[in-house]
Amino acid sequence: MPDPQRRVHNRLAVLRAERGLSRKQLADKLGINYQTIGYIERGDYNPSLELALTIAELFRLPIEAIFSLKPMTPLSEEIFREP
């Protein structure tokens, strides 16, 4: 049984900064309150599956590139990792 209190790690802040979006702009695109973006980024709120999928769709990335149960490694490290 999954623990609802378990932290879901995410790269939302990095992706948002990369695309030059403010929390308000991203929230408006997602149809949620801008504070919710901050809570998700800080790991204080785990988004629903529907919201997580909507975020993935918006960034055109697979959901596992944005959300993970394990701490996220820097994107550059993943891109340039030796095979």
User: Which positions lie near another protein, rule CB under 8 A?
Assistant: 13, 22-23, 31-33, 35-36, 38-39, 41-42, 44-45, 47-48, 51
Q: Cβ of residue 77: shortest distance to another protein, in angstroms?
A: 23
* Cα–Cα distance for residue pair 19/17, rounded to 1 Å: 5
Closest to another protein by CB, 47 or 59: 47
* Cα–Cα distance for residue pair 78/74, rounded to 1 Å: 7
Query: What residue type is assigned to position 41 of the chain?
Result: E
- 31: which residues sit within 8 A by CB, 6+ positions away? none
Q: Cβ of residue 79: shortest distance to another protein, in angstroms?
A: 24
Q: Cβ of residue 76: shortest distance to another protein, in angstroms?
A: 21
Closest to another protein by CB, 44 or 57: 44
| Closest to 23 (Cα-Cα) out of 48, 44, 41 | 41
Closest to another protein by CB, 31 or 83: 31
